[in-house]
Amino acid sequence: MAKHNETGIKGEQIAENFLLNLGMTMLERNWRHGKKEVDLIFSCGETLILVEVKTRSSFDFGFPEEAVNPRKQAFLKEAAAAYFDANPNFSEIRFDIVSVLVANDHIKEILHFEDAFY
């Protein structure tokens, strides 16, 4: 497996544990709708939370959260609509970003952006 894939998987695990510790309930991991994928799906009360995780080992290519550009946001919104239609028991939907910086197998920084975009 390529190093960047390993870093991404590690970041998703870190983000999942971080959000579980905040009291959110895990619903899905790497949920797919066609070619669109949502990294993590949680719930908190009646709110459905779709989470995009971005992990980097340095800031050489910018901050991880900057990679969630308008195109990626549009993909997430399309996937969210499909998930929301199949799970109508939620009254609200929210898009979060978790940015993870890891270096030498150590977590350097975790940033959680709640309600990051619409």
If one counts every other C-beta atom within 10 angstroms of the C-beta of residue 19, the result is 21
**In this model, does residue 2 exceed pLDDT 80?**
no
Q: What is the pLDDT of residues 63-104, one digit of tens each?
A: 999 999 999 999 999 999 999 899 989 999 999 999 999 988
pLDDT at 112: 98
pLDDT at 4: 67
Angle at 86 between CA 83 and CA 87, to 5 degrees: 85
Tell me, what amino acid is at 79? Answer: A
The pTM of this model reads 0.93
Query: Considering the chain, what percentage of its residues have pLDDT values greater than 70?
Result: 98
Q: Could you tell me the domains of the chain?
A: 3-117 (3.40.1350.10)
**In this model, does residue 15 exceed pLDDT 70?**
yes
